[in-house]
Chains A and B, each alone.
Chain A
């Protein structure tokens, strides 16, 4: 694996060259917090960020997205037929994504790019995107990535890992996609003298800073029905107000709802992020709702992330430990606590 050194003085020039062939996204300060946004001409990603309030999932999977359009005008030949919308999937890059958020895309990929079902919108968007990660030297106290199958310098899911070392960025090229991006940026790659050592050292130091942990080792062996019927759900869910904060700030939540909106004779079919916290989420056409109470909905969220996903994909929990839901839950429901309750549950 190749590691190159980028002089910070050359950083902006490279990004400018890059912006000719890639649409660039990066963290930017918005009032009191950071967001991921499309960078304007000459705008640099603000890498002085612990992490953004919302994950960059919307760059690949927008909160509201048009899928089809249609006409109800019977004078038109193709009336009442859903037509695909021309979408632009040219190259784009997220600069400064944290390793947890990049790994999250791989977790989501298991759902959107499965052998049986392929989600064309997500796949095209994901494939067009190059992820340039930024190693976390100062993880936040709610981060528990190291015990959630990830880490502050985790490489899985990234195309390039950037590490901030004094006046330079060390860039570790992880995939061919990453290689192509570096070529387009044209940073001086001849100074290929950097080694992996500083990265390894910083990685160890960063990992040591993460003191928040979860235990997940027993989840797979627990009986689903026992966990489902566990008595702790009433206590866990009591404070929950069933808002969508946890699911919307989460980089690994993928659920959506499809809506048609007609205006006059034309209309669109769109999809919007949905949340298992909402009563409408499983509301049947018959009027019946199998998850009618908040306790059932809270249980669904945790069971999905920490049990059903674990059983279905046999590849860990559906969580990368970014800590956003812990920080932004308005009533302090903490997935770390629930995970430990589930992992240590005995009948």
Chain B
């Protein structure tokens, strides 16, 4: 729909897998930071008449 690959990620982490959780969060934030802010789907003031 016009969202870059990598910006949306899914993971399955059990409540017992704390290390995996940390790894995944670190990985995702690295990828997202590299992509920079997504401007398209941000709605500021409605653009209307």
Contacts and interface: CB of A to CB of B under 8 A. Distances in A.
B48 interface: yes
A274 to B, nearest CB: 15
A106 interface: no
B44 A270 contact: no
Contacts of A62: 48-49
A65 interface: yes
Interface of A: 62, 64-66, 261, 263, 266, 268, 270
Interface residues of B, number: 6
A195 B5 CA distance: 69
Contacts of B48: 62, 64-66, 270
> Which of B43, B44, B49: most chain A Cβ within 10 A?
B49
14 contacts: A62-B49, A64-B46, A64-B48, A64-B49, A65-B48, A65-B49, A66-B48, A261-B45, A263-B43, A263-B44, A263-B45, A268-B46, A270-B46, A270-B48
A266 B46 CA distance: 12
A263 B43 CA distance: 9
Contacts of A65: 48-49
A261 B46 contact: yes
A270 B46 CA distance: 9
Contacts of B45: 261, 263, 266, 268
Interface string B9-49: 00000000000000000000000000000000001111011
